[in-house]
Structure 1
Amino acid sequence: MGMDIQTKLRLALGTMKDQASIGKAMMYNHQQHEGFSNIEIAILRATSHGNSTIDNKYMHEILFHVSNSKGSIPFLAEKISRRLCKTKDNLVSLKTLVLIHRLLRGGNRTFEQELCKAHVSGHLQISIIRYACVTRNFSDPLVCFLHKYASYLEERMSWHVNQGGKLEPIMSKGLGFRRYDEKSFDMAFRILPKCQILIDKVLECSPYDILRSSYHSLAHVAMSNTLRESFQVYMTFCEGIEALVNMFFDLESSAKSLACEILKKGSIQSQKLHDLYQTCKKLVENKNLEYPFVQIISMNHVMALDQFGFQENKVEASHVSISSISKLPQISSLLNRSSELELEVTTKEIKKDEEKVDLIFSTTPTLSSWTLETKISKVWVVFEDEVHNESQILPTQ
């Protein structure tokens, strides 16, 4: 009973603070720029105290006023950051993070790009370690979830929704190996590692404790949003694995080693992602989530590829060593025959290992022969608490 009274008292004090902040925003900013004042008021109302989800009308208000106020996105980012830094209420922090997540997809591409630029420039700060509310009790499930969710959003800022409605990483131009197909190389060695980083952030958002807490309604919204995005990232992950396996035998020895490390991590992640989805199917109260079928990557297949690359490195090292020694005129005639015999025997061993790899991959489901089956649509979907025309609210600036 004491806890109930304490909770009600905290809610009442929080509501009074919200009203005071709203009144201050109306008086202070009205004379300078009415649109900016309305943006701040909408943020305060969207992230008010209380265990309720964000009302759609406040999302509409924010997007509308931003679209009609030139240069307002940095102001929006700063006010959201200030809300996170000032509040001592964990629930308000969670609401603010959910608001950021929704804003990333709420407007058009220009708005999304400008919001990401605000994060890069420091106007939008997400790091949850800065907030006083989470430094009090790390044993609280909500505090742990706030850290993990904020970490996910930090990484999510380096992704964007393309014209096809698909989530993809923002890639800077880099140098690739010209001897390989440029698109396949980018998919295997640049996009796939980015997918693995984001998947790690998803896996860290463990729903076991938070979804059973008193904050379950907001936690379900946050986790549903994260899961939806992970479904599309997993599809790109599968495309990257397939491209990597297809080019594996054409890679140089150093690239083969890197490819094996990526595949080993992918094997572990596929198992964890499968388990996470199975758990969320039972705990996350959202029937609209269409989970993909996760194909678990066999570690035995990865180790077979790794062994093949190791044997190939031995052959190359042996060839280099013999070539350098054979330059000595005194013993070159004696080494010619022995080197030929050694290379012949080693080559036969490599061929046997390669045949063994081919046999394994021909008798069991292979990485490259996966059918990337999924139930989800490739068309980007809106959150369940959003309206379908929300993306049209913010016109192109």
Structure 2
Amino acid sequence: MESFRKAYGALKDSTTVGLAKVNSEFKDLDIAIVKATNHVECPPKERHVRKIFSATSVARPRADVAYCIHALSRRLAKTRNWIVAMKTLIVIHRALREGDPTFREELLNYSHRGHIFQISNFKDDSSPLAWDCSAWVRTYALFLEERLECFRTLKYDIESERLTKSVPGISKVHSRTRLLNAEELLAQLPALQQLLYRLVGCQPEGAACHNYLVQYALALFFDMAKYDAVKALNIYKRAGQQAEHLAEFYGFCRTLDLARTFQFPILRQPPPSFLETMEEYIREAPQTWFHVKEETG
């Protein structure tokens, strides 16, 4: 049965490529999308992803970029195969991280007309693995949608747009949130917390935990060396302690007569599962995260 599914998937891919060659005005782009998101259980091949990046660059007309997003959305909406769905999300995620900002801008415009990641009913029940991976696909889509909403609030992308502060002989990369004033920080933190909530929810379960394609997608979340991950964990722990002390300080201020006219913000801590996930990652991660070699063919 599994062999039949693979053969059927390959036939569907070749048929779709053939139709694109005959009917599509964006032949090369359509073929690259189908090949990058085919039914083969391996990460999207780099040469196809690069063609998609090229088709959505600032040098191309905005209509071309919009068509690419429409084609990816259509691919995601029509498929009932978890491999195709996950690879489509990976391509979108990589385009947001590594592609030209025009892709993100057009994706924001497209999402105003309807959620591109609205696949809450997606299900591939062809096998126990497909069932577990389908659940993770839905979670992955929620994270990417939240990532887009976070950009609407922050007006910058926390992954692809970092500020570099140069010091003689040292280059430090840090988040823009370090430069915000109190008012801006309070406006942006809820969006960041919600994105963190979606990130924590991306912990796979069941057979999906050991699937290589899921692990490849997760590498886009934790793309950092073990040493950097340790530093990040210590920062989160310290932030949690500071939040507790700040809550105590607010509690004291509320007892003062003058404070009766003020409204203090509600402080929410990252869920314990996030710290547990980070600690588990640090225990098991190599000194640097794995890199995927492109398959031949």
TM-score by length of 2: 0.72
CA distance in 2 between partners of 1:273 and 1:205 (Å): 10
CA distance in structure 1 between the aligned counterparts of 2:293 and 2:183, rounded to whole angstroms: 37
How much does 1:186 deviate?
2.1
The Cα shift of 1:279 comes to: 2.7
Distance in 2 separating the partners of 1:135 and 1:167: 43
What are the within-5 Å matches in structure 2 for residues 199-348 of structure 1? 199-213=196-210, 216-228=211-223, 245=246, 248=250, 252=259, 255-256=263-264, 258-259=265-266, 262=267, 265-266=268-269, 269=271, 271-281=272-282, 287-289=287-289
Contact kept in structure 2, 1:145 and 1:210, CA below 8 Å: no
5 Å-filtered alignment, 1:1-397, equals 6-29=1-24, 33=25, 36-67=26-57, 69-70=60-61, 71-122=63-114, 125-131=116-122, 133=124, 140-158=131-149, 159=151, 160=157, 161-162=160-161, 164=163, 183-187=181-185, 189-213=186-210, 216-228=211-223, 245=246, 248=250, 252=259, 255-256=263-264, 258-259=265-266, 262=267, 265-266=268-269, 269=271, 271-281=272-282, 287-289=287-289, 384-385=291-292
State whether residues 39 and 83 of structure 2, in contact with CA within 8 Å, keep that contact through their aligned partners in structure 1: yes
Q: Does the aligned pair in 1 maintain the 2:128–2:207 contact within 8 Å?
A: no
Q: Distance in 1 between matches of 2:209 and 2:45?
A: 23
| 2: CA distance, partners of 1:78 / 1:54 | 19
* Deviation per residue, 1:206-252 (Å, 9 max, x gap): 23424444xx11100111212349x7998699779969939957795
Deviation at 1:99, TM superposition (A): 1.1
Amino acid across the alignment from 1:276: T
In 1, Cα distance between equivalents of 2:88 and 2:6: 17
What fraction of aligned residue pairs are identical, expressed as a percent?
22
Q: Deviations over 1:294-315 (max 9, x none)?
A: xxxxxxxxxxxxxxxxxxxxxx
Verify the 8 A CA contact 1:129 1:135 in the aligned structure 2: no
Letter in 2 for 1:185: E
C-alpha distance in 2 between matches for 1:103 and 1:120: 19
Give the whole-Å Cα distance in 1 for the aligned partners of 2:147 and 2:197: 12
Aligned equivalents of 1:106 and 1:82: distance in 2? 22
Instruction: List per-residue Cα deviations over 1:86-131 (Å, max 9, x = no partner).
Output: 1111111111111111110122333332333323343x61122254
Question: Kindly tell me: are residues 89 and 196 of structure 1, through their superposed partners in 2, closer, same or farther at Cα, counting changes over 3 Å?
Answer: same
Structure 1 residues 111 and 90, CA gap change in structure 2 (3 angstroms): closer
Shift of 1:44: 0.4
- Once the two structures are superposed, residues 24-50 of structure 1 have per-residue CA deviations (whole angstroms, 9 ceiling, x without a partner) of 111112xxx3xx221111110000111
Is contact 2:37–2:84 with CA below 8 Å preserved after alignment? yes
- Name the CA distance, whole Å, in 1 between partners of 2:176 and 2:181: 14
CA distance in 2, matches of 1:207, 1:73: 32
Give the secondary structure class of the aligned counterpart of 1:53. coil
With the length of structure 1 as denominator, give the TM-score of the two structures: 0.56
CA distance in 1 between counterparts of 2:23 and 2:98 reads 28
Question: What's the offset of the Cα at 1:288?
Answer: 2.2
Report the AA paired with residue 66 of structure 2: P
Distance 1:250 1:118 in 2: 46
SS of residue paired to 1:17: helix
Instruction: Evaluate the alpha carbon distance shift between residue 237 and residue 197 of structure 1 in structure 2; reply closer, same or farther with a 3 A threshold.
Output: farther
Query: 8 Å contact 1:39–1:62 — kept in the other structure?
Result: yes
Q: How far off is 1:281 after superposition?
A: 4.0
Q: Which has the higher contact order (CA 8 A, sep 6+)?
A: 1
Conservation of the 8 A alpha-carbon contact between 2:32 and 2:48: yes
1:76 to 1:286, Cα distance in 2 relative to 1, 3 A: farther
Change (3 A) 1:126 1:44: same
**What's 2:169 paired with?**
none
Residue in 2 aligned with 1:322? none
SS in 1 for 2:220: helix
Structure 2 gaps of 5+ residues are 152-156, 165-173
Aligned-partner Cα distance in 2 for 1:139–1:60? 28
Contact 2:163 2:176 in 1 (8 A): no
- 3-state SS of the aligned residue for 1:13? helix
Bigger-Rg structure (1/2): 1
* C-alpha distance 44-139 of structure 1, shift in aligned 2 (>3 A): closer
| Range that drifts further, 239-248 or 82-91 | 239-248
CA shift, 1:133, in A, is 3.9
